[in-house]
Structure formats: structure tokens, C-alpha cells
Amino acid sequence: MLLLTILPTLAFGQSISFPPTPNEDAVNGLNDNCYLSATGHPTEKEKRDFISTLKPYVDSISKLSNLPPKTIMAMAILESGFGFTRTGYYANNIFGIKIFKTDSINTYVLKGQPDEHNGINIKIISKTPKGQLIFDETVRTDNRYRKFSSKQECIFYLTNTLLQNTRYKPASVNYKNNLNKGMSDLEASLIYAFEIANSGYNHLGGEYYRTKIERVIKQYEL
């Protein structure tokens, strides 16, 4: 088993800010801003550092778990803005892994996040002049994200726990079968992204997620 301590964790500066959400700035804040990367980040150097630091670990742990390394690395980049989204920066959660609990100490609350569950267990406190919503964050569960001690720990959890459950396991079986049939690694990796998205990993569906993953793989030569 790979040890999480064999690779260094990313170190960022202390001065960082994010585009405001409505609960932070009722005049300029936007609910969708909660998903954006920190202002001025990532720089090109930060992108290179993110890939060079995490890719060796992703390559090793993904192969041990029978998962496509290209897809896993692209997912980390896409879901976390190279580690500079709020969840990536403050919780080392580079895949947007939710926990759906309000009472866990191992949770990061993404305040101001748009309603993703059609009003279930969500109370709106007020609406801003721009029509943005300020929620009662004490009763929500749809914006609770699992906190990790490092980005490597997050990768380990994704590859060895989340993607091994019965919902996503068939996609990894198909990935290995496709490789054994002689399919290119890129195509097999993209089919994997399509299948896990259609199984619930991404609410926008398989075609959307496959296209996004393919673009990242090719742009950064993963």
C-alpha cells in the first residue's frame, strides 16, 4: 500500500481571497461564485506545481485500484481549479466529495452554494437586490464537503473508497475490459468518465463530463 506521506503536500501563501458569495457581500456576491477559484489563482506555475506534485501519486494509486490515471488527474484539475477552489484550498477536497451531514467535525461548509436539491432541507433567509439567495446554512446538508489532511489523502479516498462502491464499480470493470480488447487508453479513460457521470458522479451527465475531461487531458498532456 502506498503511504500518504511519501509525497509533499502543496504549500500556498497566506494571502488569498475569493469572489464573494451573497452571504459575504449582499451587493456584489453571487451564489455561483462559491465554485470559482481564488482571485488571481491558479497561476501557470501553480498549475505546473499541482500536476507535478500529484500526478505521480495519481498514476500509482489509480493503477493499483484499476482506475484510469488520466481521468482521475483530469478530475482533480477540473473539480478543484488546481487546488484553488474553496473546497480544494480549505478542505484539501479536490473532487468535491460531499458528506451530507450537519454535525460532523470533519466537514467544510461551502456557504452560499446554490440549491442543488430542489429546496429539500434548505431555508432561504433573504434575497439580494440581484436576486441572489442567502440561505440558513445551519440546516443544509447539500453543501457539506469532506475535509482531508492532504490532497493525497483525498485521492486515496476517491480511488479506494468512493469509486469502488457498487454504483461506480462497473465503470472500472469496463475500463479494464476495454483496455484488454485493445482500445486506446485515452478512449477507455473517456468512456470511464462518461459512465461514472451517468451513474451520478456529475449531475450534468455523461456527455458533458466526458467532453470536459477530454479537454483537460489533452490541454495538459495527461
Asked whether residue 200 carries a pLDDT value surpassing 90, the answer given is yes
Percent share of the chain, pLDDT over 90: 82
- pLDDT at position 12 over 70: no
Q: What is the DSSP letter of 116?
A: S
Sequence ranges of the domains in the chain: 17-219
pLDDT in tens, 45-64: 999 999 999 999 999 999 99
The pLDDT of residue 119 is 66
The answer, yes or no, to whether residue 159 has pLDDT greater than 50, is yes
pLDDT tens-place string over residues 168-184: 999 999 999 999 999 99
Query: What value does the mean pLDDT take over residues 30-45?
Result: 97
For residue 33, what pLDDT is reported?
97
Contact 171, 110 (CB under 8 A): no
pLDDT tens, residue by residue, 106-120: 899 999 999 877 766
Q: Do β-strands 107-109 and 144-146 pair in parallel, antiparallel, or remain unpaired? A: antiparallel
Give the model's pLDDT for residue 4: 39
Report field, pTM of the whole predicted structure over 0.85:
yes
pLDDT of residue 14: 53
Q: 4-8, 105-109, 160-164, 190-194: which range is least confident on average?
A: 4-8
Whole-number percent of the chain with pLDDT over 70: 92
Alpha carbon of 20 to those of 51, 96, 113, 119, 131: distances in Å? 27, 19, 11, 23, 15
Query: What CATH topology corresponds to 17-219?
Result: Lysozyme (1.10.530)
Cβ(146)–Cβ(185) below 8 Å: no
**pLDDT value, residue 213:** 98
CA atoms of 65 and 51, how far apart (whole Å): 20
Whether residue 199 is predicted with pLDDT greater than 70 in this model: the reply is: yes
The position carrying cell 458522479 is: 201
| Res. 104: pLDDT tops 80 | no
